Each structure stands twice: as C-alpha cells, then as structure tokens.
C-alpha cells in the first residue's frame, strides 16, 4: 500500500512535484512510465530520452500497442506532460 508521506514528513503533493522535477529533461522529451503501486515519490520511472517529440510518441505508441493498460507520460523541458 502506498504511503502518503515519507520519513522527512513531506506530503504526497510535494513528493509528486519533486518526482516530476527529477524526470523533467533540460531539453528534449522524456518518456516515462507510471506505477500506481509504488509509494509517492517513486511512481515515475524513465523509459527513454528523445530529442524530438515525434520519436517519443513513436516509442510510446509501440509500448501501448503491446500493453494498452500501461500508464505512460511524455515530459518536456517545462515539466509538463505533453499529452
């Protein structure tokens, strides 16, 4: 079961924000997977980094064709999910 805070007393929203920051690229695009079964702050994992959005979308689409229930997100340098 996921915890709502870590040992430093951070709330889950702060943990999520820090996690997104860790996986936000300085440039280009990061394709990341999301695992809802992990604790807050440990739910995102990097799959691959790309210089173009087109490349990131192509790999995301290939993954989703094989496993349509996977939660995937593409982050750009602004830290926002592209879609």
Residue 67 CA, distance from chain mean position: 17
Asked if pLDDT for residue 3 goes beyond 60, the answer is no
**Beta-carbon contacts of residue 54 (< 8 Å; ≥ 6 apart):** none
Question: Partners of 49 in the beta sheet?
Answer: 30
Interval 2-31 mean pLDDT: 79
Question: Partners of 32 in the beta sheet?
Answer: 46, 73
Reported pTM? 0.78
pLDDT on residue 8: 65
**How do residues 43-78 score in pLDDT, each as one tens digit?**
899 999 999 999 999 999 999 999 998 899 999 998
User: What is the residue extent of each domain of the chain?
Assistant: 28-83
Among 3-12, 34-43, 64-73, where is mean pLDDT lowest? Answer: 3-12
Question: What is the CB neighbour count within 10 angstroms for residue 75?
Answer: 23
């Amino acid at each position: 079961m996921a915890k709502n805070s870590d040992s430093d007393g951070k709330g889950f929203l702060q943990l999520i924000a820090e996690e997104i920051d860790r996986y936000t690229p300085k440039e280009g695009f990061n394709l990341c997977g999301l695992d809802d079964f992990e604790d807050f702050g440990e739910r995102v994992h990097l799959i691959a980094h790309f210089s173009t959005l087109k490349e990131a979308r192509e790999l995301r689409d290939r993954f989703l064709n094989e496993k349509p229930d996977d939660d995937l997100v593409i982050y750009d340098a602004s830290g926002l999910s592209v879609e």
